[in-house]
A and B are shown apart, each in its own frame.
Chain A
């Protein structure tokens, strides 16, 4: 017979849970190094290149912050939905539509005055992303359709729609046939902070994060959301407006991802082009889960996973490692942290020798 058995802990390990996450990440780094070695690349040197590329210089750190902005906004949105146990896997598509909405404003009303342009773009992105979040919410409430699948399919549809626009009607005639819109007018470009390379989207992140944190902590509705998330049945008995909460949460979730798309198109690319779809929406899911849906931790995790992306770019440059290596590492980190969660809630005990 088994000599060991699994015992649930009376209380989850609070202080050791950091330890578990740290160990899990270390394990995933180890496995990733093995992957590098498997392809005949020096593993330790490779990991060094990732680390150095991400955090080794001021310029690299700024790049991390720039990439962390869209991840943070998407992840914040995803986390709000996850709070209510609504699995919004659609940040990628909501991001795409947000970028499309913002671009529509910038291209259609190029003469808007400076003070109105950016707010109008944000409003359009909010609406477009919000609608893309609203559809799965309504389908789930009215038709009982699984939101995981619907949001995923809507991702594919949104990305193809973006392609349709930039390959078709929105293509810049002066782009030599490349699928991209013309450069936004100056008023439609979100500027940088001070003399740095980091754009003002970072401020938007700070505001959104703070608002979400206050909302969940200090408002009645936020409390209701938290309660509904912990136990949907109990929330129903308490007559919380579950349906309305689902709609609210999904619209906000989509709108935040939409803002990420707006910032990325305006501040980073200054136009709309297919390369805007860099998978931030999927990374956002990893981030939200690693950060346990907490707005502050999401900030840290966004920065770290943005660092992973920047670092892997360095690896790509120096050792010709395919970009998908970053995806492997993301997946591994999530898998090992999930597995590590077990040791927070359970322990393995030696079976008492009975009989």
Chain B
């Protein structure tokens, strides 16, 4: 391996980690509010399709990207309705959302398989892209990658320094106390679910608008589930989500490189790598016992007050 090979590989790592990063950050917000949303995979699929269709219809990838987030949020609101308002089981509702969302995107997208939509192309970042090594790795991407750089610190600041962020966290830790302190638990959890859906939708939109520019069935390929696993790896912390997403992106990029170089390893075995890595990463993160870091009321419904 030489620098000429490593730098493009690392750049590809950042790119393929970006959609997972969006989704992981979204799920962190949702889970911090105490709601477990396993529908990320379905939300990403719907976001990807909505982004693709809107970009195709309007010719504006920016509108498409926002539509991806909006429709992701719309689908997530179903999860909110069932789990927060109607006391449904969070695990089952998330699974149902994934089945429904994947089906919906594949159903509506079938006529468009193989077609392309206007998307985002790499735009070298002024000045920064000229820095040796760092520049080519981090600053010669599309604008959505640059946006993904500023979201983790924003979320970190939100949780650490804003009143809303602290309240959202307290709702996930102990909704009873939060309610007694006069907070409207329902509203905070709803906001957490919607924000998470929006970001997961953006992650899906990245796949169809920047990663591929075209629509295929099963575009997300399990990235939504990987995002859910990465939340545990990240210990619900936005900065560690970046590490996790790029670790995963690295394996993904590496695996594609190996295939392109024509190794003798069968492609099915190479394709297993990201999923196997996810299991390994999850096991090590869980073993370190940081599962304790999870919001205490994660996945438990808050009963309506009498």
- Chain A interface residues toward B at CB < 8 A: 5-8, 35, 39, 87, 89, 139, 143-146, 148-150, 152-154, 156-157, 160-161, 163-164, 167-168, 282, 285-286, 289, 321-322, 324-332, 334-335, 338-339, 341-342, 345-346
Q: A325: which B residues are within 8 A, CB to CB?
A: 103, 107
B100 touches A335 (CB 8 A): yes
B286 touches A324 (CB 8 A): no
Smallest distance from the beta carbon of A254 to chain B beta carbons, Å? 16
Smallest distance from the beta carbon of A85 to chain B beta carbons, Å? 10
| A14→B82 CA distance, assembly (Å) | 21
B266 on interface, CB distance cutoff 8 Å: yes
Pick the interface stretch among B120-128, B153-161, B174-182, B221-229. Answer: B221-229
Return the contact of A342 from the options B87, B92, B232, B283 (Cβ within 8 A). Answer: B87
B86 on interface, CB distance cutoff 8 Å: yes
Extra inter-chain contacts (9) besides given A145-B286, A164-B266, A328-B100, CB under 8 Å: A145-B282, A145-B283, A148-B91, A152-B222, A156-B222, A157-B272, A286-B99, A324-B110, A339-B81
B89 on interface, CB distance cutoff 8 Å: yes
| A338→B222 CA distance, assembly (Å) | 24
Smallest distance from the beta carbon of A163 to chain B beta carbons, Å? 4
- Chain B interface residues toward A at CB < 8 A: 38, 42, 78, 81-82, 85-89, 91-93, 95-108, 110, 222, 225-226, 228-229, 232, 266, 268-269, 271-272, 275-276, 278-279, 282-283, 286-287, 289, 291, 303-304, 306
**Which of B97, B110, B268, B278 gathers the greatest number of chain A CB atoms within 10 Å?**
B268
Q: B98: which A residues are within 8 A, CB to CB?
A: 331
| A334→B102 CA distance, assembly (Å) | 14
A342 touches B229 (CB 8 A): no
The residue of chain A having its C-beta at the shortest distance from the C-beta of B42 within the complex is A331
A335 touches B93 (CB 8 A): yes
A328 touches B104 (CB 8 A): yes
Q: B291: which A residues are within 8 A, CB to CB?
A: 144
A335 touches B82 (CB 8 A): yes
The residue of chain A having its C-beta at the shortest distance from the C-beta of B228 within the complex is A149
Smallest distance from the beta carbon of A80 to chain B beta carbons, Å? 16
Smallest distance from the beta carbon of A277 to chain B beta carbons, Å? 12
A289 touches B232 (CB 8 A): no
Q: What are 29 residue pairs bridging A and B, where the CB atoms are less than 8 Å apart in the complex? A: A5-B306, A7-B306, A8-B304, A39-B108, A89-B95, A143-B287, A144-B291, A145-B279, A145-B286, A148-B38, A148-B91, A148-B228, A149-B278, A153-B275, A160-B269, A163-B268, A164-B268, A285-B92, A286-B99, A322-B110, A324-B103, A327-B103, A328-B100, A335-B100, A338-B89, A338-B93, A339-B81, A339-B82, A346-B87
| A152→B38 CA distance, assembly (Å) | 11
| A292→B260 CA distance, assembly (Å) | 48
Knowing A8-B306, A342-B87, say if A322 contacts B106 (CB, 8 Å).
Answer: yes
Q: B108: which A residues are within 8 A, CB to CB?
A: 39
Return the contact of A322 from the options B107, B287, B304 (Cβ within 8 A). Answer: B107
| A168→B270 CA distance, assembly (Å) | 14
Smallest distance from the beta carbon of B272 to chain A beta carbons, Å? 5
| A341→B95 CA distance, assembly (Å) | 16
Smallest distance from the beta carbon of A71 to chain B beta carbons, Å? 14
Smallest distance from the beta carbon of B277 to chain A beta carbons, Å? 9
The residue of chain B having its C-beta at the shortest distance from the C-beta of A6 within the complex is B304
B279 touches A154 (CB 8 A): yes
| A89→B91 CA distance, assembly (Å) | 10
Q: A160: which B residues are within 8 A, CB to CB?
A: 268-269, 271-272, 275
Smallest distance from the beta carbon of B221 to chain A beta carbons, Å? 8
Q: A164: which B residues are within 8 A, CB to CB?
A: 266, 268-269
Smallest distance from the beta carbon of A64 to chain B beta carbons, Å? 20
Q: B102: which A residues are within 8 A, CB to CB?
A: 324, 327, 331
Smallest distance from the beta carbon of A160 to chain B beta carbons, Å? 5
Q: A156: which B residues are within 8 A, CB to CB?
A: 222, 272, 275
B279 touches A143 (CB 8 A): no
Q: B42: which A residues are within 8 A, CB to CB?
A: 331
Smallest distance from the beta carbon of B298 to chain A beta carbons, Å? 11
**Which of A35, A154, A335 gathers the greatest number of chain B CB atoms within 10 Å?**
A335
B88 touches A342 (CB 8 A): yes
A330 touches B95 (CB 8 A): no
| A312→B155 CA distance, assembly (Å) | 44
A153 touches B88 (CB 8 A): no
| A89→B100 CA distance, assembly (Å) | 16
A335 touches B287 (CB 8 A): no
B107 touches A328 (CB 8 A): yes
Q: B81: which A residues are within 8 A, CB to CB?
A: 339
A161 touches B268 (CB 8 A): yes
Return the contact of A335 from the options B97, B283, B289 (Cβ within 8 A). Answer: B97
The residue of chain B having its C-beta at the shortest distance from the C-beta of A38 within the complex is B108
| A6→B222 CA distance, assembly (Å) | 38
B107 touches A334 (CB 8 A): no
The residue of chain B having its C-beta at the shortest distance from the C-beta of A341 within the complex is B88
| A144→B291 CA distance, assembly (Å) | 8
| A150→B276 CA distance, assembly (Å) | 9
B86 touches A146 (CB 8 A): no
| A145→B108 CA distance, assembly (Å) | 36
A331 touches B266 (CB 8 A): no
Q: B276: which A residues are within 8 A, CB to CB?
A: 153, 157
| A87→B86 CA distance, assembly (Å) | 21
B232 touches A146 (CB 8 A): yes
